[in-house]
Amino acid sequence: MKSILKFLFKLLVVASCIMILLIGGLEINKYLTDYSKEAEQKRELYEIRLKLIEEVDTNYRILKSIVPKWNRFYAELSLKRDRDTVQHKEIEPKDFLIVHQQLFHFNHEIDKIESHKWETYKYKISDLGKYQDTEDLMQWRQEKSHMITKTYILQEQLMYDLEELNKASHDILAFSNSKIYTDNTNIQYNFEYKKFYYYLNKVDKSIYNLLKHQYADNLNHLIRTSSELRNRYRNILLEKEYYKLETQKENAVDTISIALQKCMAQKKNNGINMNNFKYYTKQKDDQLLVLLKKQDSTHKISKQSRTELVDNVNTCLKDLKLQDVAAYYISIQLDDYDYIIKTPDIEIIEKTKNNETYTFQLQYFYRNQVIEEFFVDNIWYPKE
């Protein structure tokens, strides 16, 4: 009897162990499945966020491109050549032909503004929420209901107001071409005239608001919430600086780079011809980005010469005694994928295998900046 009880006890223990293993296995499998779903969800969020950023950025560039012409257009219609008054010139009906043609151009450009990615984004966010309501999703829903939504609503309002402005301009032209004038015609003309300036001011304010706040705030918010996106867009900023370096007609253009070029020409540099380099600098706050590019890649430079070269650049910069500069970010491009890097935190002398090493180190020059700076107030009020 005792042996039977002992056997049953062992059987119970074994069964319990098997049960524990099964339950544990199921829990582990559930955890791995949930982890996999969350990882997939994060990747999908990243992809739709990236597409939304690209759309907002494109719309931003479209609006920035028309601002100079819009400023001149508004100034020609404004009595005091500024936006602090609602007074406008008394324009003859016949002169509205030119006005109407200009408005047609603005309408054509603003029609390029899109919202397809925004619509896809809203659908995707709702669709992803069916599986798991993560913290990321809740954050994105807040964005959808506040900042980004406001921007796209303002875009739609701008397009509507511009269309109404075009209609008013067209009607004024029609009245001016009419051979029959009645009291009703004059009343209707005055109504369309007031309507024209009403929508002119609305369009003007919408353009300013989108450029001053909406687009930049949205892009900064969308990009800064992801370290991967921050790195990506800082790289884009750096690539644009290199493009400016490569496309400048002279070896040195800005004041600091010209002074640096003269200083480097006086150094021995171990026989390196410094006239064969292009120079470019950009200052941001108390930091200076310094880019040099060797235009002839036929002659290789030894490690000793590379060290001497970057040391001489650093010495020349200090000799310039730039009082408002506290940190230098130096990049000397010798060939494709061959850069000498010196920042306040690191120095890379050896040839790099790819661009990631140097771009990552130079990113710190931009600090929290992730998009190109654009100061609409500098161009908004037309100058005489």
Element of type H or E holding 258:
helix 255-265
Is residue 157 located within the same domain as residue 265? no
- Residue 139, in any domain of the structure: yes
The reply to whether 174 and 142 lie within a common domain is yes
136 and 187 in a single domain? The answer is yes
Query: How many domains are contained in the chain?
Result: 2
pLDDT digits (tens, 9 = 90+) for 153-189: 999 999 999 999 999 888 888 777 665 555 555 666 6
Type of residue numbered 2: K
Q: Are 358 and 352 in contact (CB under 8 A)?
A: yes
DSSP string, 277-319: EEEEEEEETTEEEEEEEES--SS---HHHHHHHHHHHHHHHHH
Tokens 């130096």 -> residue = 330
Tens of pLDDT, residue by residue over 237-296, are: 999 999 999 999 899 899 999 999 999 999 887 778 888 899 999 999 999 999 999 988
Q: Do the Cβ atoms of 174 and 189 come closer than 8 Å?
A: no
> For residue 295, which amino acid is it?
Q
Number of Cβ within a 10 Å radius of residue 169: 23
Residue 185: inside a domain: yes
Round to whole Å and give the CA distance between 354 and 235.
Answer: 13
Which of 326, 227, 258 shows the shortest CA–CA distance to 286?
326
- Tokens for 230? 């921050």
Beta bridge partners of 340: 332
Domain boundary among 176, 199, 225: 225
Residue 10 belongs to some domain of the structure: no
Does residue 163 sit in the same domain as residue 252?
A: no
- 19-29: per-residue pLDDT in tens? 666 665 555 55
Q: Which residue has the tokens 């004038």?
A: 181
Same domain, 247 and 314: yes
Is 350 part of a structural domain of the chain?
yes
Does 99 map to a domain? yes
Note the pTM of the prediction, 2 decimals. 0.79
In which domain, by residue range, is 56 found? 40-225
In a domain, 294, yes or no: yes
pLDDT tens digits, one per residue of 99-149: 888 998 999 999 999 888 888 877 776 665 554 555 555 665 555 556 788
